[in-house]
């Protein structure tokens, strides 16, 4: 089956107006949404599975004065604690915006478009992919893969084997990278913990591509950051930062870009994706929901005012009152 050419962002009329007026799509902090649980889809089982895989194929390993399976358990416990702390302080997150392959879907009207009073905005998959490519490996767009429990278990088992291989060889990697710590087990353990945290965090970011199959009707796509650094230096002036920091793609993309809005008395950070970086006519179509009472002429005027071209305006065929 060929890939779809357009995907659709469902939203209220208020959000649609902000998108068009500001010429921006807001990629919101997922830790402030119901979707945050999906970054945890593998969390409950991956640590257990790494332990199980080690018991099946043990090797010589020590960490913090423990050996064998006790050392593995202690390392995984420390990694889990670090990631839990990152969750609590909001640093383990991503900025995300969601789409659907379906332009006219009842569940989307209900859940994301003000109960049918809103609309769905059509975007080009090719243009969104080009945008990701222009931002290096920092931003990605993927069609969500819907999995059941058995499929989830297989993904976790395969990843656990990869992680165990990394654990087995990581100390040699550390010593090769930092020869000065060769005889300092405490520093080696600290670096090992940091490396393993990055490996697990990367895996959890990757889980944004997955969702339980009970939601497969949504036919969802996600545009998301594969890593986020919510440090205050994101607002440093570029002239004042060291040269090495300017080589950091994440810092360069996010510098002075993160903004905020308030939702239910909660401050929500977001990254504004500039629509003009997609194309001169980034919004290809707009479908009015089954309860939407906007005039087509008014929508055309708004697009004309903002110099976004003339959209292909459609009307929902769903009977929903």
pLDDT in tens, 25-46: 999 999 888 766 777 888 889 9
Torsion angles phi and psi, residue 278, rounded to 5: -85, -55
Work out the average pLDDT over 52-79.
94
Per-residue DSSP letters for 92-103? S--EEEEEES-S
Q: Which two tokens stand for residue 79?
A: 């990694």
What span, in angstroms and rounded, lies between the C-alpha atoms of 238 and 133? 23
CA distances from 97 to 37, 81, 250 (A): 15, 29, 18
Q: Which two tokens stand for residue 28?
A: 């919101």
219: containing domain: 6-315
Work out the average pLDDT over 79-91.
90
Q: What is the pTM of this model?
A: 0.89
- Residue 241's pLDDT band, with cuts at 50, 70 and 90, is low
124 within a domain of the structure (yes/no): yes
Give the rounded percent of residues in the chain with a pLDDT score beyond 70: 96
Query: CB-based burial of residue 84 (10 Å sphere; 0-12 exposed, 13-18 middle, 19+ buried)?
Result: exposed
278 within a domain of the structure (yes/no): yes
Query: CB-based burial of residue 114 (10 Å sphere; 0-12 exposed, 13-18 middle, 19+ buried)?
Result: buried
SS3 72: helix
SS3 65: coil
pLDDT of residue 175: 86
> Residue 3 pLDDT more than 80?
no
Tokens 């889980």 sit at which residue? Answer: 207
117 within a domain of the structure (yes/no): yes
Domains identified in the chain, total number: 1
Per-range mean pLDDT, top range of 177-186, 257-266, 305-314: 305-314
The strand pair at 139-143 and 220-225 is best described as antiparallel
pLDDT in tens, 191-225: 999 999 999 999 998 889 999 999 999 999 999 99
Per-residue DSSP letters for 13-64? HHHHHHHHHHTEEEEEEGGGSGGGGGGGTTHHHHHHHHHHHHHHS----EET
50 within a domain of the structure (yes/no): yes
* Range from 3-7, 75-79, 300-304 carrying the lowest mean pLDDT: 3-7
1 within a domain of the structure (yes/no): no
pLDDT of residue 2: 54
pLDDT of residue 1: 41
pLDDT of residue 244: 61
C-alpha neighbours within 13 Å on the C-beta side of residue 161:
7
pLDDT of residue 80: 94
189 within a domain of the structure (yes/no): yes
pLDDT, greater one: 36 or 262: 262
pLDDT, greater one: 228 or 114: 114
Per-residue DSSP letters for 102-166? -SS-HHHHHHHTGGGTSEEEEEEHHHHHHHHHHTTTSEEEEEPEEE-HHHHHHHHHHHHHHHHHH
320 within a domain of the structure (yes/no): no
pLDDT of residue 245: 60
321 within a domain of the structure (yes/no): no
pLDDT of residue 247: 59
């Amino acid at each position: 089956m060929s890939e779809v050419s357009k995907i659709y962002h469902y939203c209220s009329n208020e959000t649609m107006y902000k998108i068009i007026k500001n010429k921006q799509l807001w990629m919101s902090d997922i830790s402030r949404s119901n979707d945050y649980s999906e970054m945890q889809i593998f969390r409950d089982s991956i640590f257990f599975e790494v332990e199980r895989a080690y018991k099946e194929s043990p090797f010589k390993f020590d960490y913090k004065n423990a050996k064998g399976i006790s050392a593995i358990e202690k390392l995984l416990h420390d990694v889990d604690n670090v990631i839990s702390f990152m969750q609590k302080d909001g640093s383990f997150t991503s900025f995300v915006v969601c789409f659907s392959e379906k332009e006219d879907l009842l569940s989307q009207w209900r859940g994301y478009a003000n109960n049918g009073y809103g609309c769905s905005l059509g975007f080009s998959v090719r243009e969104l992919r080009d945008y990701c490519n222009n931002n290096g490996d920092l931003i990605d767009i993927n069609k969500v893969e819907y999995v059941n429990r058995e499929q989830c278990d297989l993904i976790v088992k395969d990843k656990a084997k990869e992680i165990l291989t990394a654990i087995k060889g990581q100390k040699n990697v550390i010593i090769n990278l930092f020869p000065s710590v060769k005889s300092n087990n405490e520093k080696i353990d600290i670096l090992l913990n940091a490396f393993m945290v990055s490996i697990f965090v990367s895996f959890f970011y990757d889980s944004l591509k997955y969702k339980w199959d009970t939601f497969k009707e949504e036919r969802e796509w996600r545009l998301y950051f594969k890593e986020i650094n919510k440090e205050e230096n994101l607002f440093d002036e570029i002239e004042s930062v060291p040269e090495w920091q300017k080589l950091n793609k994440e810092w360069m993309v996010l510098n002075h870009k993160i903004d905020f809005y308030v939702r239910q008395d909660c401050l929500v950070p977001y990254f504004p994706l500039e629509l003009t970086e997609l194309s001169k006519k980034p919004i290809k179509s707009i479908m009015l929901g089954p309860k939407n009472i906007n005039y087509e002429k008014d929508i055309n005027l708004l697009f004309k005012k903002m110099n976004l071209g003339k959209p292909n305006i459609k009307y929902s065929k769903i009977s929903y009152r």
